[in-house]
Amino acid sequence: MGRIKIELPETIIFTARVPIRITDLNYGNHVGNDSILSIFHEARMQMLRSMGYVNELGIEGEIGLIVSDVAIVYKSESFYGEALDIHIGAADFSKYGFDLIFQAIESQSDREVARGKTGMVCLDYKTRKVAVVPQSLIYKLESSMG
């Protein structure tokens, strides 16, 4: 079986610190696979807020973001009491979307916990149809890339 590989982007555009909550643990007493996706979502929301957006529904008027696909590669366990630094990069821009790439690093040990990718597509929430990525969002993402 082929393994998923997630290549890290050259440029990190945002870093969020997310503490591990007791509710993030599964029966193995480590962070569950579903919780890693929620942690990436929290980091994405922190990044969008830092860019001046209130949420994913209103990037520009009725145009918002929706996740079209997800991939996660687990590198090590993470436990209650730790905090993860979530580094985010952007890649593969198209007319209707782009990818966000995540790397979760345990903040004290620098141990890599996981990598993830979410395909982000713009959606007109009024018409419920795919929309062109707003120039304002492209500008903010590219400005963060340096």
The pLDDT of residue 57 is above 90: no
Residues 6+ apart with CB under 8 A from 104: 36, 39, 40, 78, 84, 85, 86, 112, 113, 114, 115, 116
> Whose CA is closest to 93, among 39, 135, 31?
135
pLDDT at 124 over 70: yes
Q: In which residue are the tokens 């400005």 written?
A: 143
Which amino acid does the sequence have at 129?
K
Asked whether 55 and 48 are in contact (CB, 8 A), the reply is yes
Computed over every residue of the chain, the mean pLDDT equals 95
| Average pLDDT over every residue of 74-92 | 97
The confidence band for 144, taking pLDDT boundaries of 50, 70 and 90, is confident
Residue 40 in contact with residue 103, Cβ under 8 Å? no
Task: Decide: 120 and 97 in contact? Cβ < 8 Å.
Answer: yes
> Which pTM does this prediction carry?
0.94
For residue range 59-75, list pLDDT tens digits in order.
888 899 999 999 999 99
